Amino acid sequence: MSVRIFDADVPDKRRRRSDGVRSRGAILGEAARLATVEGIEGLSIGRLADAVGMSKSGVYTHFGSKEELQLATVEAAESLFARQVIVPAADAPTALGRLRLLVGRYLDYLEAETFPGGCFFASALCEMDMQPGLVRDRLVALHEDWRARLEGAVRDAQLEGAIDPAEDAAQLTFELEAVLLLANVQYVVARAAEPIERARRAVDHRLAPTVMAARE
């Protein structure tokens, strides 16, 4: 009898864990969307409970504090960004291809309106840049990782001979990121394809001389 009870109980426990994971995922998905519109500081257990149709106690079981909720929201947004932008770019056969994919997939991420307020990280970092703490530290680290990925792809492309080795890699990275950030701001305001298209043309225009010089 005890064996049968145990066997029946295991799937039920797994089901409860699975339901908990799905609930947490749904909460964090809504939290990330709200953060780009109302600000990551605007997140609270009560506000999120209203948004997802749960009780405060139901949300509180997943997050013990506002800071824990904010950090988990950043982590969820990071995971989504990795799936949509970083992982696909990693499959590029060349460094120049990886660079173009990182830039192109970022613009796709914006155009798909993954979050209603545009790039989660641009929004959150702008909000938290003068507020010391774990949330700011995590956002700064993620931004540095993104910048380093872009610059690493530029330097690798230089080593492969696809970008002129005389090009200042840090400056090129700065200019590419500036294009992406402006595209994000203008797209959020206009909700039109033009900023994305202009950003793609700007990137092609900026990279063309460096690639041509590398081939000569």
Average pLDDT over residues 151-179: 97
pLDDT at 144 over 80: yes
Please tell me the predicted confidence (pLDDT) of residue 22: 56
User: pLDDT band for position 212 (50/70/90)?
Assistant: confident
Over residues 65-124, the pLDDT tens digits come to 889 999 999 999 999 999 999 999 999 999 999 999 999 999 999 999 999 999 999 999
pLDDT digits (tens, 9 = 90+) for 14-50: 444 444 455 888 899 999 999 999 999 988 888 888 8
Q: How many domains does the chain have?
A: 1
Q: Which residue has better confidence, 120 or 61? A: 120
| pLDDT reported for residue 115 | 96
SS3 annotation, the chain? CHHHHHHHHHHHHHHHHHHHHHHHHHHHHHHHHHHHHHCHHHCCHHHHHHHHCCCHHHHHCCCCCHHHHHHHHHHHHHHHHHHHHHHHHHCCCCHHHHHHHHHHHHHHHHHCCCCCCCCHHHHHHHHHCCCCCHHHHHHHHHHHHHHHHHHHHHHHHHHCCCCCCCCCHHHHHHHHHHHHHHHHHHHHHHCCCHHHHHHHHHHHHHHHHHHHHHHC
For all residues of the chain together, what is the average pLDDT?
89
- Asked if residue 176 has pLDDT above 50, the reply is yes
Q: How much is the pLDDT for 56?
A: 84
d(CA 138, CA 57): 27
Q: Residue 194 maps to which CATH number?
A: 1.10.357.10
Q: What is the pLDDT of residue 6?
A: 34
Which pTM was predicted?
A: 0.86
Domain hosting 26: range is: 2-215
Q: Looking at residue 18, what is its pLDDT?
A: 43
Question: CA 52 to CA 22: how far, in whole Å?
Answer: 12
Whether the Cβ atoms of residue 170 and residue 147 lie closer than 8 Å to each other: no
